[in-house]
Amino acid sequence: MAEASTIPAPEGATGVLVLASGDVIWGHGFGAEGSAVGEVCFHTAMTGYQEIMTDPSFAGQMICFTFPHIGNVGANPEDFEADDPHALGMIVREMPTQPSNFRSVETLSEWMAKHNRIGLAGVDTRALTRRIRGGGAPNGVIAHSATGEFDIPALLEQARAWPGLEGMDLAKSVTRETHGTWDGGVWRLGFGYGAAGEGERPHVVAVDYGAKRNIYRNLVAAGAKVSVVPAEATYDQIMALNPDGVFLSNGPGDPAATGDYALAPIRRLLDEKVPVFGICLGHQLLALAAGAKTTKMFQGHRGANHPVKRLDDGVVEITSMNHGFAVDRDTLPANARETHVSLFDGSNCGIELTDRPAFSVQYHPEASPGPQDSFYLFERFVGMLGNAA
């Protein structure tokens, strides 16, 4: 890493990451050309890069993958968590190779270019990860130019001008625009995505703050009928669909900012004792609605191997996480009981309300960590709805 004003582009460099601190990291660009500004974070998963890039929770962020071989299974049209990638770009150690997987239909570079996302390879990702661990997630600009020509001072100014994720509501930018239904089930090799079974099913209305599709699939697999509404749906709009329970999805940005419009309907749902289940941002919003506070984390949790302890019985779940904000357990009200904690740093990872049928977790049970350690949460929620259908 070097100061922006002192280092020229090395020969052959076609990509660069410029941090707000003035550090410049050179490499080889792939995917789309151009530039993008946001927060730089790291992710420790060894697989699932396509699902990670399309997770709406990564809006406003670029991802440094700690696993060195990203792209070796190519890209396909099934492994999407949303219609398009939401992460701004990716930073990797090795240039993606030609894919070797029977499901691949295009290279990662081709997929990135098609979706206007920038890749930067040839980076010492271990050094960048250590920098984030020690100094927190920085703001930065990722850029790719086939000619190797970059206006570094301008990129630095752009990085320093970006306000950061704290106080930023991004759910509005990634949510669906209209109410819809969800019928698809989980994916199976050789069969693709299944469909919901016949007969009466409890009806779950999911509020889309930037949801991953596999959440809806797992709700269906657990026995629910699922409808989806936009992030700004009101209590009346939600209840007009006659839900047996309401799901609060994951999503990007600062939960306190999203709470400006999300908390009023959630509080009304709690007052009316409608069953509620939240994941990630939905967990944070449930806590805020109950009276707790959230805080910006120093580096966040992003990976597929995070150990979380279940306080009721001491069982440790291996979980998938992606969050940069956390619930402050010291602000939980008397009717909110902590249910899960991270074994990495002790932060809160789950709550339930003692006087309402509502619970939530900070991690992502739908991402198949463990791989099935956390599916019980979907079964628990749908089971709460009983014979309400």
Return the bridge partners of 350, or none. Answer: 340, 361
∠ at Cα 377 (371, 378), nearest 5°? 95
Say if strands 225-230 and 180-182 run parallel, antiparallel, or are unpaired.
antiparallel
199: Cβ–Cβ under 8 A, 6 or more apart, which residues?
none
Residue 104, classified by CB atoms within 10 Å of its CB into exposed (0-12), middle (13-18) or buried (19+), is middle
Write the single-letter amino acid at 137.
Answer: A
Task: For residue 382, give both structure tokens.
Answer: 């749908």
> Which secondary-structure segment (H or E) carries 308?
strand 293-310
CA of residue 191 relative to chain centroid, distance: 27
Let me know how long the chain is: 389
Return the bridge partners of 35, or none. Answer: 143
Cα distances from 60 to residues 115, 222, 254, in angstroms, run 15, 32, 11
Q: How far apart, in whole angstroms, are the C-alpha atoms of residue 123 and residue 119?
A: 11
CA of residue 384 relative to chain centroid, distance: 26
Task: For residue 132, give both structure tokens.
Answer: 């984030």
Active site residues: 280, 364, 366
Q: How far apart, in whole angstroms, are the C-alpha atoms of residue 53 and residue 241?
A: 32
